[in-house]
Amino acid sequence: MLVSEFDYELPKELIAQHPAAERDKSRLLVLERKTGKLHDRLFPDIRHWLKPDDLLVVNNTRVIPARVYGRLPTGGKLEFLLLRCIGTGVWEALSRPARKAKPGVVVDFGHYKARVLERKPDGMRKVEFEPPDIEGLLCEQGELALPPYIREKCEEPERYQTVFAEIDGAVAAPTAGLHFTPELLESLKAEGTEIECVTLHAGLGTFRPVKVETVEEHTMYPEEFELTPEVAGRISNALAQGKRLVCVGTTTVRLLETRAVQSVNGWQVNPGKGETDLYIYPGYEWRVTGGLLTNFHLPKSTLLMLVSAFAGRECIMAAYHHAIEKQYRFYSFGDAMLIV
């Protein structure tokens, strides 16, 4: 399968540069998978598409200020985008300019220093900080790593966090969740929709570009997750009762599909804490996902492949062309799409 099959042309003016004035005032494109029928709505209308016994699953990861800037021994500037902690004080990171982040180089961050230990594939570096606890560095100097297509500064950093963000660790926001307000969540609960929180820290696996020609050649960078026994039990009970799982975001999908197992009572999800490199593209055999709320994704991205696996490539591409014609706002700060 060619990656080029997941390409489309997007006018630059449709790339959202800032959040909607209010979280739940974005637009919502509803796609019915079986018929391909499309509905143009506003986000609060999601209540009309959720059934009273649906289980809405959200990702409660919180984005950390993972972009830091230090000084090289030569006096030059070096940027690290910290991806994940892999040991005491040891991180995997992207660096810019990469050519200056050679093994052995020590980068000065004032009260902190970082030594480049190793070059890794895809431009990554393994770096070790001293002192090892860098919470102070991130709080004092760290910046949120907004995607490169957002050229305007985010004046309200909390708008790049969901209202249910709780567990620090993500580099990128689970953007489908950005549309919810506490009031809307309470309204959905009052109407019978159950809501559960899981954790997957979105990182390079979510936003890494696909640089190969065929879909199958790409590999996913692992991302950390946690599914507690209590939440796993409630989700499994919901599945046993025939309830529909509606996942908020592709990160939630990948976590639940990773932990799904078939038992004598049907599908359930096992608790656990670890990493997933699950790669979903057309041909994938779905396990527990019954509905998906997501944003509009970049051309030729793994996220576009995932939603195409869920609804069919032709159906998704037709929906995207419709969204462009109707001038929906695209990408992280853009409008939402509900696939049912």
Task: Read off the pLDDT of residues 286-340 as tens digits, 9 standing for 90 and up.
Answer: 999 999 999 999 999 999 999 999 999 999 999 999 999 999 999 999 999 999 9
What tokens were used for 279?
């790669």
Mapped onto helix, strand or coil, the DSSP state of residue 280 is coil
H or E element in which residue 314 lies: helix 313-325
Structural domains of the chain ordered from first start: 3-63+155-339 (3.40.1780.10), 67-141 (2.40.10.240)
At residue 18, φ and ψ (nearest 5 deg) are: -155, 160
Residue among 257, 249, 255 at smallest CA distance from 274: 255
Mapped onto helix, strand or coil, the DSSP state of residue 118 is strand
Give me the chain's average pLDDT, please. 96
Q: pLDDT tens digits for 34-79? A: 999 999 999 999 999 998 999 999 999 999 999 999 999 999 999 9
Kindly give the pairing relationship between strand 194-200 and strand 223-227. Answer: antiparallel
The model carries a pTM of 0.94
- Rounded CA separation 44/189 (Å): 13
pLDDT number for residue 206: 87
